[in-house]
Structure 1
Amino acid sequence: MRKLIILFSIVILKAEAQTSALQLADSLYLHGNYTKAIEAYKAHSNQEDVYQNIAKAYIALGNYDEALLNYENSLKANPKDALVLFDYGKLLARVKKYKQALEVFYQLIDIDYKNPNYHYESGLVLQQLGDSTDQNRFRNAYDLDNTHQKAIFQIAKFHLIKRHHAVVDKYVDIGLNSYENNKELISLKAQNFYWKEDYESAAKWFEKLIELNESSQFIHEKLSFCYSEIHEVEKAIEQQLLALKYEPKNPKNLFILGQLYERVSDYENVVKYYKESIEIQDIPLDHEYIKLATAYNLIDKQKEAIDAFKRAIDENPNNHQAQFFLVLTLDSYYKDIDARIKLFENYKDKFPESIFISFAERKLKELKEEKHMKSD
């Protein structure tokens, strides 16, 4: 009897020691000391019990190969452990082993078809594989749980791409009904109004994103456009400036900003942003130079306007608009009437088929009459 008591006591002491060691390992893991946690787990006598824990610690360290190896060791001991399978499948997807991940998620669906997350995760993998049946899985997840925010997002995003506006509204509204501050769904709602060209409603939902501390080049660009379309130009300028903070050398956004300043007659900034846009681009820029030259004319900088029109012509010699506007600017710049007459005569000879020819002829007639009156 005494020997039995001693033996029983030893067993209890060993069990307590193992429990204590496991608690230490768990504590190290929870406090972010992952390498020490792994060492403690590996010291555990029954490794089958801690393979999953070791795998999670390796994931935290970014060592995915070791994590996969430990998940596989755990599954050798317990092939149908759903928790381990789920984590293993997600890690396989994370390291882009999509076909293996899909097999794992299909195995989980066989184990528990009514778990919406198994369908959702398999949908994500199918999406990466370019398999159009991904939507079936997202829909299954939604049917099993109509508050599944991530599944709702994937369904709504798919229909937004297809421009199925009513379907997008349906799913987004369902999602927002259970989680009103879901930023991804709010973004889809804003974009859905945007593509329906309901810019006032779109602006309200983009504003909602900003209220929720979201900020991105995409948001500010789209909100700027919405404000521009509903004639709130000052707000459009403000958002365009915010968009430029993300990409200061974006030529398109710089040019748009110049156009917005033109609408509020701030021609100094018109010139500034048109010039910045033009200097960055390496494509034919005759249109942009015409806009810049026009802005110079509006602030009485004719010499700079002349240079800009000449640059437009260098970019595209067949741009009749640039050619004619250069003549008009030179006409107002020159004092000598004969030189001014020569401008329009040369234009007529060079561009007899121009859409501006009738205007040139009328101007030429006026100049000749003016010269005749002065000579009298």
Structure 2
Amino acid sequence: MKITASTALDHLRVLDLTRVRAGPTCCRILADFGADVIKIDAPPGLDPNEGISGARHGYDMVNLHRNKRSITLNLKAPEGREVFMRMLATSDVVVENFRPDVKDRMGLDYESLKAVNPRIILASISGFGQTGPYKTRPGFDQIAQGMGGLMGVTGEPGTPPMRAGIAVADSTSGIFAATGILIALAEREKSGMGQWVQTSLLQSQIAMMDFQAARFLVDHQVPPQAGNDHPTTVPMGVVTTADGYINIGVGGDSQWRSFCQSIERPDLIEVAKYAKGTDRTRHKDEIKALLEPIFKTRTSADWLARFEAAAVPAGPIYKVDQVFSDPQVEHLGVAVPLKDRERGDVRVVGQPIVMSRTPASVVSSVPDAGEHNVEILNEFGYSTDYIARLRERKII
């Protein structure tokens, strides 16, 4: 039975050939908004990298692969590819994150898929792109963080390069791939034709560098490490209080004036060399030294209350458990309840997109590999006897 999390994309069928993080992130977005996402798993013992993503009902798989159905299929065998091509003929999207040469060897390249279904949209996510000198290199998130410049601007000045604490390149590759798929689907409404959507960890990481990358491309400046301070706006970053740390963000000259009133230093408003943002940036170290003893005179809660009253941007710095007990986070419903057959009642991370009529939802946990074999194969016209033969031959 088709799983329906939303009506937004419930007219679409997606064949999910992905694993690890970038591809599953893309497919999760489509599944949460109602697409019939069929996760194609390898039969047990066939994949040499089986288990690379951790336990099937571990926290990562439960969060990444909810709202999907699963079929096991040996795509290296002719019978398995025949089943896949029959499914492909009436599907809308295929998502894969093989190395480029792998899908070519398996006959799952875009031209082969297009010959069966000209309306198909193939979304390919790779480490370094589908063409070029690095196209066959295996890629992981941290490799892309290093090559894409993120590690070069992260960490305290003068310290070794530092990775971000999350899989920035992986996750954003999945988001960019989903965006490309939706663009291709919208264009297909006009042309009637599918197309090949491509992104990579390296491209996505560079895109996420955004203003830091533009700083080099436009002004030819190499951004240095800035630690917990904003690289160009002052004062903005982490400050030490009497009992911990908070973030502050003084983004403009009017906020600077409100900030000075909040810290009971209105005299700083009259200091000409601090009046403009560009001036404050030039005197960054001086301002930081001036503010450090002031912030240590009050608790984090006191400062946050003062800044909120004055409309000065500021916020607490949470560990993950504190994130989900914050009243605003609770109000937004970011943690979504889910029942998993092995883990019982758990919560997963919901979609950060609010839709007024067709919201995303989470209705089922990660399926066991091949859980929907019979159901899906029946839908595509395969008989019970033929399904039994596929199982005997370890095709499913």
Q: TM-score range by the shorter chain?
A: under 0.3
- Name the one with the larger strand percent: 2
TM-score (norm 1): 0.24
- Name the one with the larger helix percent: 1
Q: RCO higher in 1 or 2 (8 Å CA, sep ≥ 6)?
A: 2
TM-score (norm 2): 0.23
